[in-house]
Amino acid sequence: MGMKITFELSDADLQHFHETMERVRDATQNLDETTIIKHARELLYKIRNSAAAEFIRVRLNRLETLIAMVEDVGWGLEEDDRQRVLQALSYFAEAEDLIPDEIPGLGFLDDAIMIELVTRELEHEIIAYRDFLVYRASEQSRLGSDAGDLNRQDWLIERRKQLHSRMRRRRRRGRAESTGSSGFSLF
């Protein structure tokens, strides 16, 4: 039978993680994108091949998403966002993190907490990227080879069409509710 343990990070704890992230950014600022991603992938490999707790394993998908956001040419992550994600991933390139990974049961806890904090901060970018992935898969399934190389611009155009369609439906519904049977409209 499993046991659920919850804990709360105080403002001081969060400040400590913030300072750690700043220290790591300074220590890894000369690393190139390829090296940062390589280290993040190595962490994924180590966690998969360890007896890490489920709390830690759940966060693997989030780390994979961050890596994919940077590598996905079709997504075309804007430079400011790209740098934010790479800075987040740089934590996993630092050999001396808060808890050494070799400590059984706890070694990846700081990594999981950092993944949690980073993904909360990048939540909107991650949601948009996942939506893009659904759009791209759907269009590729629907159109097959005619879909071509779908990118962020294609997704944005489709989202704009959906937004306009939703606004028109709401307008018609609102007009029908407010005018009743008279059918009066200024337009």
Per-residue pLDDT tens digits for 28-54: 888 999 999 999 999 899 888 888 888
CA distances in angstroms from 7 to 4, 37, 186, listed in the order given: 10, 30, 58
Per-residue pLDDT tens digits for 81-129: 998 899 889 888 776 777 777 777 778 888 888 888 989 999 999 999 9
Q: Which residue's entry shows tokens 């090296």?
A: 35
Predicted model pTM: 0.79
Query: Please, which residues have CB within 8 angstroms of residue 95's CB and are 6 or more apart in sequence?
Result: none
144: left (phi over 0), alpha (psi -120 to 50) or beta: left
CA distance 140 to 183: 42
In the chain, what is the greatest distance between 2 CA atoms, to the nearest angstrom?
A: 75
CA distance 58 to 63: 10
Instruction: Summarize the confidence of residues 5-14 as an average pLDDT.
Output: 86
Sequence spans of domains, the chain: 11-123, 132-178
